[in-house]
């Protein structure tokens, strides 16, 4: 009887043991499923992490740049500016151009423009004596700009730089050249990182340039032009054809660009990296404007003092914008070099016509009457070919319609071309002092040679 009871107890115990194991396995499976679900949900949350479009690299501490800056002169502004202009400077074996560059930036800007900009200079040379003398020179030449928060001078100590020797010799560059261009990339990286957030836009210059007058207003106009055309996603706008001069960026891209330069600092020169960055951010083609706003003035490079005579042929120091107008001509046009191109600013825009005859004309009809104060007309190529040999320059009043377009009812001769050119000032005092509606270039003698009219420029005043 006891044996039977013992067997029964063992059987019940075994069943309970098996049930316990099954329960635990079931519970463990449910628990695992729960944690798997929570882990998957957490992973999905990471992918859907809200990201700010402004300096998201910095906000998330992605690829942190371990760098600290020494403020050598000036005071950072308390309010965000419209434009920050950044440039790096190092000592040169021969002539230095930093003071000339800064003078050009400030002297070619109006008071309103200066209030909207900040210039940041990174003194990137490790020579303490050079930095000290340069800061002294900057303080002596630009005290008001430093005091008004328009100019800042900073430096990054050497121990923050990555290795600058023993680097890869891509493009078969000599070691000294590799060191120079690699350090330049890091200099730019540190400069960009410092300037992030100081303004809405950032403009990169070099320390040996001159500027067009009122270049900031010209830049603002081009930016607004892009916005009106619905092209707000641009990465880089270019205002010079040379090197890393006159390149404009959104400030929100600077932290990413700074990391990009730092990561690939030894791979290739900075202008190559900047082009790759533009393409990576899906701007396939360069957006470059003429006339150029900045000119290279350096004669000797910062690399071993080598001779450098690069010039931007599209640069114009005195920017201009002719009044809105329609342009007509009865001279036979060659290809698409239409008459309106002579009226548009830019060195690569010109009218090209075939063998004009006496009586032919190019007529500009203003959208609104203007008082003309000066006129400049230039014909012919840079080599002196295709000049307009004989012509008068005239102003007209009372715009009227005619079969081939519009013209004026009455014209007054104000001058003639001499050697294919004419430049006259104070026209409102010497000749026609009233508002006029037309400007006409009238051919007075036939010629077999074709004609190029590369510039028609006028200045006006309010009535």
pLDDT at res. 129: 95
CATH top class, domain 325-461: mainly beta
Model pLDDT, residue 62 = 63
> What pLDDT, in 10s, does the model give residues 206-221?
998 999 888 898 888 8
Give 276-307 pLDDT, tens digit per residue: 889 998 888 889 887 889 888 766 555 544 55
Q: Which of 191, 112, 101 is nearest to 153 (CA)?
A: 191
Q: State the pTM of this model.
A: 0.66
For 383-392, the pLDDT digits (tens) are: 889 999 999 9
Query: CA–CA separation, 62 vs 54, rounded Å?
Result: 14
Which of residues 406 and 227 earns the better pLDDT score?
406
Those residues whose C-beta lies under 8 Å from the C-beta of residue 390, and which sit 6 or more positions away, are 416, 417, 443, 444, 445, 447
267 neighbors 208 (Cβ within 8 angstroms): no
Class of domain 70-296: alpha beta
Residue 333, beta-bridge partner list: 353
Residue 440: strand pairing partners: 363, 394
Count of H helices and E strands in the chain? 12, 19
Residue 423: count other Cβ atoms within 10 Å of its Cβ: 12
| H/E segment holding residue 122 | strand 117-123
pLDDT in tens, 313-331: 666 767 667 888 899 999 9
CA-to-CA distance for 55 and 194, rounded, in angstroms?
A: 12
* The two structure tokens encoding residue 216: 């900031």
Long-range contacts of 332-335 (CB under 8 A, 24+ apart): 334/450
Give per-residue burial for 30-46: e unless 16+ CB within 10 Å, then b.
eeeeeeeeeeeeeeeee
- Quote the CA–CA distance of 165 and 182 in Å, as a whole number: 9
pLDDT of residue 36: 41
* Domain boundaries along the sequence of the chain: 1-49, 70-296, 325-461
């Amino acid at each position: 009887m006891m044996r039977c009871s013992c067997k029964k107890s063992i059987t019940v115990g075994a069943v309970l043991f098996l049930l316990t194991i099954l329960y635990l396995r079931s519970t463990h499976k449910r628990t695992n499923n729960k944690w798997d679900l929570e882990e998957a949900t957490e992973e999905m949350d990471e992918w859907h992490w809200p990201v700010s479009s402004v300096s998201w690299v910095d906000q998330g501490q992605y690829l942190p740049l371990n760098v600290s800056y020494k403020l050598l002169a000036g005071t950072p502004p308390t309010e965000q500016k419209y434009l920050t202009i950044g440039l790096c400077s190092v000592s040169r074996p021969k002539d230095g151009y930093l003071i000339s560059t800064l003078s050009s930036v400030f002297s070619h800007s109006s008071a309103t423009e200066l209030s909207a900009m900040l210039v940041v200079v990174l003194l990137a040379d490790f020579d303490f004596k050079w930095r000290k003398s340069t800061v002294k020179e900057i303080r002596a030449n630009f005290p008001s700009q430093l005091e008004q928060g328009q100019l800042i001078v900073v430096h990054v100590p050497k121990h923050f730089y990555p290795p600058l020797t023993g680097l890869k010799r891509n493009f078969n560059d000599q070691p000294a050249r590799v060191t120079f261009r690699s350090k330049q990339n890091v200099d730019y990286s540190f400069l960009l990182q410092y300037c992030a957030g100081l303004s809405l836009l950032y403009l990169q210059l070099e320390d040996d340039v001159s500027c067009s007058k009122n270049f900031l207003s010209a830049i603002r106009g081009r930016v607004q032009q892009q916005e009106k055309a619905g092209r707000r996603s641009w990465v880089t706008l270019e205002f010079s054809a040379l090197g890393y001069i006159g390149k404009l960026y959104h400030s929100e891209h600077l932290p990413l660009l700074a990391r990009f330069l730092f990561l690939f600092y030894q791979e290739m020169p900075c202008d190559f990296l900047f082009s790759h960055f533009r393409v990576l951010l899906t701007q396939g083609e360069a957006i470059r404007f003429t006339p150029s706003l900045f000119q290279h003035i350096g004669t000797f490079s910062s690399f071993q003092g080598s001779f450098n005579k690069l010039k931007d042929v599209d640069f114009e120091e005195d920017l201009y914008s002719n009044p809105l107008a329609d342009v007509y001509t009865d001279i036979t046009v060659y290809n698409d070099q239409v008459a309106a191109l002579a009226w548009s600013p830019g060195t690569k825009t010109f009218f090209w016509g075939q063998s004009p005859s006496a009586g032919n004309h190019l007529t500009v009809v203003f959208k609104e009457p203007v008082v003309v104060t000066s006129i400049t007309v230039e014909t012919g190529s840079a080599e002196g070919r295709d000049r307009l040999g004989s012509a008068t320059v005239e102003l007209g009043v009372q715009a009227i319609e005619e079969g081939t377009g519009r013209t004026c009812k009455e014209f007054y001769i104000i001058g003639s071309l001499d050697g294919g050119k004419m430049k006259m000032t104070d026209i409102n005092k010497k000749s026609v002092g009233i508002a006029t509606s037309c400007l006409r270039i009238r051919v007075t003698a036939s010629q077999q040679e074709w004609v190029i009219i590369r510039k028609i420029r006028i200045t006006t005043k309010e009535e």
